[in-house]
């Protein structure tokens, strides 16, 4: 059986960038992707997310910018990724869901059911979409209404005439409230912390500073925070109708969930039909558990994109690189990390 220089796990922006740069360096590799088709998490985004709604998608390496064509993000971006895989002849096997990566002496073995791939290094690019985060709140199991997470957002029509609680202080909560509030019977926005609004235009320096903060967390082995949690929120034209209805008046978290609604800290009950948890995602890294990469602080400590606990492992699209531009850069850095490891390993053995 072939021993690869690298196995890339995941074919979103980060995995494709890594594969492109590995190929340029002449390093043997294969990309394993759990989805049925190209597009990474973009193919699963909700239908109402148009290309005008997305914040901007960085061009894949050595490809034209996608721009903001008409159409839904969940079809336009996957078509762009599919074209890219073909144009650069990247070897992506799908659907292959990796269950585990094990340490077999000098080599790593990647497992998917009965199938295995043997490799000197891995580049993990599995994103976060498959790990929606649902915080625990007392009473949740007894709620008589409907609860859903952003990951299964069915579009605004589903909420027409209903009383909707939206939980979460990130960009998704702001965007979904913008769609839901104008047609819901009423909406209530609750967040754990006071949301941070950006008062000025987004400036690249502030963006870089925000990414540096997340980078610092990951360097120390802490769980990564989302980049937007440090860049701040802003309302766009499409959210103004909801704003006029008062949808962005933030309320503190409820103290418990009851069958008919949520109990607020002032003791009042806000009757609710639906609770929409826009509470984010966590890195999809369970398959790496056998490698014991987690630090005592609960995150995977990285030096650049290299796992400190095992330098054969690169993580891309993780923490500071969890944006399309960050994923692009991380793919390049990871390919360099793989090459460095292979050079060191071969000089140590000669
Ligand atoms: P993904 O695109 O999630 O790809 C991961 C791939 O790994 C998937 O194909 C999946 O099938 C595969 N995978 C997962 N687990 C396994 C496994 N065990 N085995 C094999 N394969 C596996 N960023 C921007 O820069 N601009 C934006 O406008 C923007 N909008 C966003 C809107 C939403 C709603 C969200 C949630 C995020 C947005 N982001 C945006 C963030 C951005 O989408 C991501 O940071 C980036 O696209 C992630 O790319 P990725 O390659 O890391 O992961």
Chain centroid, CA 221 distance in Å: 18
Q: Measuring CA to CA, which residue among 272, 254, 263 is closest to residue 135?
A: 254
The confidence score (pLDDT) of residue 230 equals: 60
Cβ(4)–Cβ(120) below 8 Å: yes
Q: Measuring CA to CA, which residue among 20, 28, 110 is closest to residue 333?
A: 20
Q: Measuring CA to CA, which residue among 101, 123, 154, 148 is closest to residue 6?
A: 123
Cβ(31)–Cβ(41) below 8 Å: no
What's this model's pTM, rounded to 2 decimal places?
A: 0.94
Sole residue written with tokens 């490698």: 291
Cβ(326)–Cβ(315) below 8 Å: no
Q: Does any ligand 1 atom lie closer than 6 A to the CB of residue 299?
A: no
Residue to substitute in 11, 12, 173 for testing ligand 1 pocket (most ligand atoms within 8 angstroms of CB): 12
Q: Does any ligand 1 atom lie closer than 6 A to the CB of residue 85?
A: no
Q: Helix (H, G, I), strand (E, B), or coil: what is residue 108?
A: strand
CA 39–ligand 1 middle distance (angstroms): 9
**Residue 8 phi/psi, 5° resolution?**
-95, 130
DSSP 8-state assignment for residue 62? T
CA 26–ligand 1 middle distance (angstroms): 26
CA 41–ligand 1 middle distance (angstroms): 4
Alpha-carbon separation of residue 313 from 81, 122, 169, 287 (angstroms):
24, 5, 32, 13
Task: Please give the ipTM for the structure prediction.
Answer: 0.98
E-assigned strand segments in 91-185: 92-93, 100-104, 107-112, 115-124, 146-149, 163-167
CA 235–ligand 1 middle distance (angstroms): 23
CA 43–ligand 1 middle distance (angstroms): 10
Q: Does any ligand 1 atom lie closer than 6 A to the CB of residue 55?
A: yes
Distant-in-sequence, close-in-space partners of 45: CB < 8 Å, separation ≥ 6: 73, 74
Q: Does any ligand 1 atom lie closer than 6 A to the CB of residue 77?
A: no
The confidence score (pLDDT) of residue 43 equals: 98
**Whole-angstrom Cα distance, residue 143 to residue 243?**
28
E-assigned strand segments in the chain: 3-9, 29-32, 92-93, 100-104, 107-112, 115-124, 146-149, 163-167, 186-191, 250-252, 256-258, 261-263, 269-271, 274-277, 302-303, 306-307, 313-315
The confidence score (pLDDT) of residue 269 equals: 98
Q: Does any ligand 1 atom lie closer than 6 A to the CB of residue 19?
A: no
Ligand 1 atom nearest the C-alpha of 321 is 45
The confidence score (pLDDT) of residue 56 equals: 81
Q: What residues does 253 pair with on adjacent strands?
A: none
The confidence score (pLDDT) of residue 261 equals: 98
The rounded average pLDDT for each run of 10 residues, N- to C-terminus, in the chain (350 residues) is: 96 98 98 98 94 88 86 95 98 98 96 98 98 95 97 97 97 95 98 85 72 88 76 87 97 97 98 97 97 95 96 95 91 98 88
How many CB atoms are located within 10 Å of the residue 2 CB? 8
The confidence score (pLDDT) of residue 197 equals: 87
CA 44–ligand 1 middle distance (angstroms): 10
Cβ(130)–Cβ(12) below 8 Å: no
Burial 86-122 (b: 16+ CB within 10 A, else e): eebebebeeebebeebeeeeeebbbebeeeebebbbb
């Amino acid at each position: 059986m072939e021993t690869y220089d690298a196995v890339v796990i995941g074919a979103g922006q980060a995995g494709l960038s890594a594969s492109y740069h590995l190929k340029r360096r002449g390093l043997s590799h294969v990309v394993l992707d759990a989805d049925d088709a190209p597009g990474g998490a973009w193919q699963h985004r909700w239908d109402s997310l148009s290309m005008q709604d997305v914040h901007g998608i960085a061009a894949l390496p050595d490809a034209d910018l996608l721009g903001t064509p008409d159409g839904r993000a969940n079809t336009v971006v996957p078509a762009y990724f599919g074209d890219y895989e073909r144009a650069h002849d990247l070897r992506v096997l799908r659907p292959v869901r990796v269950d585990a990566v094990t340490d077999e002496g000098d080599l790593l073995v990647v497992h998917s059911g009965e199938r295995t791939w043997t490799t000197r290094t891995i580049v993990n690019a599995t994103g976060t979409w498959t790990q929606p985060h649902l915080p625990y709140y007392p009473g949740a199991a007894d709620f008589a209404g409907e609860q859903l997470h952003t990951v299964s957002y069915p579009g605004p029509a589903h909420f027409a005439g209903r009383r909707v609680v939206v939980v979460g202080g990130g960009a998704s909560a702001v965007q979904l409230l913008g769609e839901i509030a104008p047609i819901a019977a009423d909406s209530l926005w609750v967040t754990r912390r006071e949301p941070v609004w950006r008062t000025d235009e987004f400036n690249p320096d502030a963006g870089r500073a925000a990414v540096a903060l997340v980078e610092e967390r990951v360097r120390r082995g802490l769980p990564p925070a989302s980049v937007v949690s440090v860049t701040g929120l802003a309302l766009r034209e499409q959210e103004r109708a909801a704003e006029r209805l008062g949808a962005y008046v933030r309320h503190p978290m409820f103290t418990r969930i009851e069958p008919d609604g949520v109990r607020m800290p002032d003791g009042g009950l806000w009757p609710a039909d639906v609770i929409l948890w826009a509470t984010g995602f966590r890195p999809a890294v369970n398959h790496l558990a056998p490698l014991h990469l987690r630090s005592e602080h609960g995150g995977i400590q990285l030096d650049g994109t290299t796992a400190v606990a095992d330098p054969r492992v690169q993580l891309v699209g993780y923490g500071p690189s969890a944006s399309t531009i960050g994923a692009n850069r991380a793919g390049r850095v990871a390919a360099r990390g793989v090459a460095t490891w292979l050079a060191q390993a071969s000089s140590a053995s000669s």
